[in-house]
Chain A
Amino acid sequence: MCKLRKYIEPTVVTGWKAYDENPYNESYNPSGVIQMGLAENQVSFDVLEEYLEKHSEATNWGNKSCGFRENALFQDYHGLLSFRKAMASFMEQIRGGRVKFSPERLVITAGATAANELLTFILADPGDALLIPTPYYPGFDRDLRWRTGVKIVPIKCDSSNNFEITPESLEAAYNEAVSMNIKVRGVLITNPSNPLGSTIKRSVLEEILEFVTRKNIHLISDEIYSGSAFSCTEFVSISEVLEARGYLEAERVHVVYSLSKDLGLPGFRVGTIYSYNDKVVTTARRMSSFTLISSQTQQLLASMLSDKEFTQNYIKINRERLRKRYEMIIDGLRRAGIECLKGNAGLFCWMNLSNLLEKHTKEHELDLWKTIVHEVKLNISPGSSCHCSEPGWFRVCFANMSERTLEVALRRIHDFMEKRSLIV
């Protein structure tokens, strides 16, 4: 408990507070703060709603009395088979049917947050480390470390090669850990990346797999944004790389997935671990008793996700709409004189404001960020909160608002940039 008491919330909390105190609303508060720091997907909500309205039997247990009874009593940590089958099938569809997932290897958890923590407990002991490429999702500092006692050692990536992970950066991180007498247990990648908004190339995945094999450590691939790649062929899953090499060294690979981003259902708390390692599956399953998904929710989703017509349609529409949003924001930012990293996935873009900084330091980045939050009234995420080694980058979410709100945000940025170029 002492650890939690000492946990100091990162500075980004000020951004959230600014939003909470003065939230933008098109009608009631048009000058309020627009929330662009929350990676939530609302662009395809209507597709979901339409399905649920037409298929009300998904939300109840039908007329059979045993349906509800069994469901209410079902607390088996294996999870409903129908749900696991539906999730496995959904994950296959996202990967264009290029790889198969077995429901027997799927472990259910209440969200990807829990899945990542669970895997950390299983793969590492207190004091050990996971290597994570920067910039990374700030939540990892909390989720992977709080209760597990495990450390994070960053794999430093930079803009010289579009923040791609290289064998050199992997080695450097590993050696850094060794020099601190820390045992490395695995590498954790997010693919598509948060906050970069881009997928990892197949060749890079192969290099990472080669590295973890050589060091005899694990690889966790958090693929929570896999369904949010703008086109089906842009995203290559680690499972596809394994499949192509006959599942050699698969025992060290574990995939995390969730419905919070792709389906826009973070409130449902649905996460999964897919592991190619029997021991990890067995252990994760037992440990999942601390983080089970409500059987009611499993039932609802089993019904929805096994409707292939719905899922194919949803995946397709979701990808198109996200791509459209992305193009809209990139275009708007470009017209304001701002460049972003080339992205092809996710609910955000990785914006480069480094040329606005007087000095390339974290402090100057945070000053700029505060200006954006309080004057431009946009809550975005500073790169330093994601442990980015280069100051001046920001993550900007675009999928948690309407197009109109996005237009307002872009106009504000445009005005801000105009004023600054006048001042400078």
Chain B
Amino acid sequence: MTRNSDSETKPRKPTRTGMRLIVPLQGIVQGRGGLILGSLIPCALVYFLQLYLKRHRSSNTLSPSTSAENLPELPRSSSRANLLTRGSIGRVPVSSRASSIAKPNDCPYYIGLDRVREDPYDEINNPNGIIQLGLSENRLSLDLIEEWLSKNLSASMLGEGGDDLNICGIAAYQPSDGLMELKVAMAGFMTEIMGRTISFNPSSVVLISGATPALEILSFCLADQGNAFLVPTPYYPGFDRDMRWRTGVELIPVHCRSCDDFTLSIKALDQAFNQARKRGQKVRGVLISNPSNPVGNLLSIDMLYDLLDFARERNIHIISDEIFAGSMYGNEEFVSMAQILNSEDSDRDRVHIIYGLSKDFSLPGFRVGVIYSFNENVLAASRKLTRFASISAPTQRLVVSMLSDTKFTREYMKTNRERIKKMHDLFVEGLRELGIESAKSSAGLYCWVDMSRLISPYNEKGELELWDKLSNIAKINVTPGSACHCIEPGWFRCCFATLNEKQIPLVIERILTRNNLICPHQNGMNWSLTCCSKIIA
């Protein structure tokens, strides 16, 4: 026998006004009148209480700044006391969406980044600072770009005569969705990295100042307020902000598990879709990251086809964030969603790809992002919205030159991959010697580390305690799985591409030497002295 809803199992009682006033939910249970009274009267009481407090406030103080902001005090005159008599009825309000954004960070992903900002490790100036493993940045191959710049900069920026390539050309208004030359160069670069059998069309490229706004623009284009996207977990914590903040769109997590190597399950997607439908929530699409962030695994070609089938059956979109496509270190080959669309022409309209130069090309500061879509409506709408997030013209010029130098880009990508692999292997091996394993992965600037044996209790609280200790005691910043909505506690994303070779043993050593403080409940960590000396040497 199925469980019925509360209203059917509870016998209807005569309404008690006291309960209905205080418990709106009770009001829902006991009928509409209860709902109205139960909601309105507490609200009215709160309103009058606030009004009373406002009137009796002695001074008009500003809200406390968050720890990261130290704003200078405005010079205040003695006439501030006259505020209340001048007709001001209190501090001027901001919008409700702003109020929620202004709240102090409560996500460990952002708190961790703030902590590093306040106490960053520096070999010489701050050797006891926090080592950053929480930012998926690539510092391994910047020397290659520097070398290219030293040979090519002035020609690429200011041009060697001719109208287009000199300063006049870059100062004036440009098409907001990017220069055609850059679209061509970008399409060429994407073809190099993920093309295989297909090539990317410059006309389907929309250029934006970063993958962050690219994702938000797609969210605005594909969904209305209150609609939702299905997102396999664990996922990049930034999605919660980028997709939701200003759009009013929701994200529905679809859990993946370690027993499946955290690979996507169509069955789980289907279940989540149906549950959403029952709740009356309209699902507009699936958001995947491939290569996955934070796990670093790839979607197989079969899985891509299955996903497309699922999207077709449900008539929804697919956003494929492929920003790590060039940061491969494993033996598998990366397959882009664009790859499988050639033969599935009717489904082209539902697939949209995000790319950018922040990860593969180590240029997050330059703000170069891409929306790649086959859907004319989405392209048209996205182009219009790029006016709020266009790439700066001098940067476009520079990047055109860089990406058009295909000899350079090929060598760069090859060397970069080798270096990522080397760092990955060193790091994973270092952790392994501590008895800590990582999930199988082939790409990305991080690994997905299983520290579940080290947490107690085996839940989110235990995980966050370990995260906190790693940050405060071992002085390393990693991203806890709960920030990525991982359903299994104890997993952590550790970015290794911000480190150099010397720092990996340092990280391992810190975990090792402070392990009794980090996990005091763990007696048998089996870390032999010989293994330690091997790492630290």
Contact = CB atoms under 8 A, between A and B. Distances in A.
Contacts of B96: 125
B388 A291 contact: yes
B241 to A, nearest CB: 8
Given A73-B362, A125-B95, A292-B367, A216 B90 contact: yes
Given A291-B389, A297-B394, A102 B72 contact: yes
A23 interface: no
Interface in A286-342: 286-287, 289-297, 300
A143 B153 CA distance: 35
B146 A216 contact: no
Interface stretch (B33-41, B76-84, B258-266): B76-84
B393 to A, nearest CB: 3
A38 B364 CA distance: 33
Contacts of A40: 172-173
B366 A296 contact: yes
Given A287-B101, A295-B365, A249 B88 contact: yes
Contacts of B393: 267-269
Contact of B394 (A72, A245, A296): A296
A162 interface: no
B395 A72 contact: no
Interface in A207-251: 213-214, 216-218, 245-251
A1 interface: yes
A190 to B, nearest CB: 18
Contacts of B70: 104
Q: Which of B71, B212, B358, B385 has the most CB of A within 10 A?
A: B71
B310 to A, nearest CB: 22
A59 B167 CA distance: 11
Interface stretch (B12-20, B59-67, B268-276): B59-67
Interface in B246-304: 246
B317 to A, nearest CB: 11
A213 B90 CA distance: 10
Given A60-B153, A114-B388, A69 B98 contact: no
Contact of A128 (B77, B95, B384): B95
Contacts of B532: none
B171 A121 contact: no
Given A247-B76, A266-B171, A269-B209, A1 B222 contact: yes
Given A59-B157, A214-B87, A247-B77, A282 B102 contact: yes
Interface centre among A73, A124, A280, A289 (most CB of B within 10 A): A73
A283 B154 contact: no
Contact of A267 (B69, B90, B172, B366): B172
Nearest to B223: A1
A290 B63 contact: no
A171 to B, nearest CB: 14
A4 interface: yes
Interface stretch (B213-221, B446-454, B485-493, B523-531): B213-221
B222 to A, nearest CB: 7
B154 A280 contact: no
Contacts of B220: 1, 147
A178 interface: no
Nearest to A213: B88
B391 interface: yes
Q: Chain B contact residues (Cβ within 8 angstroms of A): what range? A: 35 or more
B173 A69 contact: no
B466 to A, nearest CB: 28
Nearest to B157: A59
Given A52-B167, A266-B172, A269-B391, A290 B213 contact: yes
A294 B153 CA distance: 17
Contact of A75 (B221, B365, B392): B365
Contacts of B168: 45, 49
What is the predominant secondary structure among interface residues of chain A facing chain B?
A: helix
A290 B172 contact: no
B378 A1 contact: yes
A123 interface: yes
A188 B391 CA distance: 27
B144 to A, nearest CB: 12
B139 interface: yes
B51 interface: no
A350 interface: no
Interface string A112-129: 011001000111111010
B62 A5 contact: no
B246 A276 contact: no
Contacts of A281: 69, 71
A278 B89 CA distance: 19
B209 A291 contact: yes
A110 interface: yes
Given A75-B365, A123-B94, A282 B69 contact: yes
A217 to B, nearest CB: 7
Interface in B127-165: 137, 139, 142-143, 145-146, 149, 153-154, 157-158
Given A72-B363, A73-B137, A289 B79 contact: no
Contact of B358 (A75, A122, A264, A291): A75
B142 A110 contact: no
Given A267-B171, A291-B388, A300 B77 contact: no
Contacts of A392: none
A269 B137 contact: no
B363 A280 contact: no
Given A1-B377, A267-B170, A73 B157 contact: no
Residue among A56, A251, A290 with most chain B CB within 10 A: A290
B161 to A, nearest CB: 13
A405 interface: no
Contacts of A217: 92
Contacts of B66: 282
Interface string B374-398: 0001101100110111111111001
B416 to A, nearest CB: 14
B170 to A, nearest CB: 5
B392 A247 contact: no
Contacts of B92: 216-218, 251-252, 277
B94 A279 contact: yes
Given A1-B221, A56-B154, A292-B210, A121 B139 contact: no
Contact of B390 (A110, A146, A279): A110
A105 interface: yes
Contact of B98 (A49, A52, A123, A295): A123
B171 A45 contact: yes
A290 B212 contact: yes
Interface in B390-419: 390-395, 398
A265 interface: yes
Given A267-B171, A268-B393, A291-B389, 19 more contacts: A1-B381, A4-B381, A59-B157, A68-B145, A72-B365, A110-B367, A121-B98, A122-B95, A147-B246, A246-B76, A246-B77, A283-B94, A285-B69, A287-B101, A289-B210, A292-B209, A292-B210, A294-B395, A296-B395
Interface of B: 62-63, 65-66, 69-72, 74-77, 79-80, 83, 86-98, 101-102, 137, 139, 142-143, 145-146, 149, 153-154, 157-158, 167-168, 170-174, 209-210, 212-213, 216, 220-222, 224-225, 241-242, 245-246, 358, 362-367, 377-378, 380-381, 384-385, 387-395, 398
22 contacts: A2-B224, A60-B149, A71-B365, A72-B365, A75-B358, A114-B388, A121-B97, A121-B98, A122-B94, A122-B97, A147-B220, A216-B88, A216-B93, A248-B83, A267-B394, A283-B98, A283-B101, A291-B209, A292-B210, A294-B365, A294-B392, A297-B395
Interface of A: 1-2, 4-5, 7, 38, 40, 42, 45, 48-49, 52, 56, 59-61, 65, 68-69, 71-75, 102, 104-105, 110-111, 113-114, 117, 121-126, 128, 143, 146-147, 185, 213-214, 216-218, 245-252, 264-270, 276-283, 285-287, 289-297, 300
In order of increasing CB-CB distance, the 7 nearest A-B pairs are: A246-B77, A295-B365, A267-B393, A294-B392, A294-B395, A74-B365, A122-B98
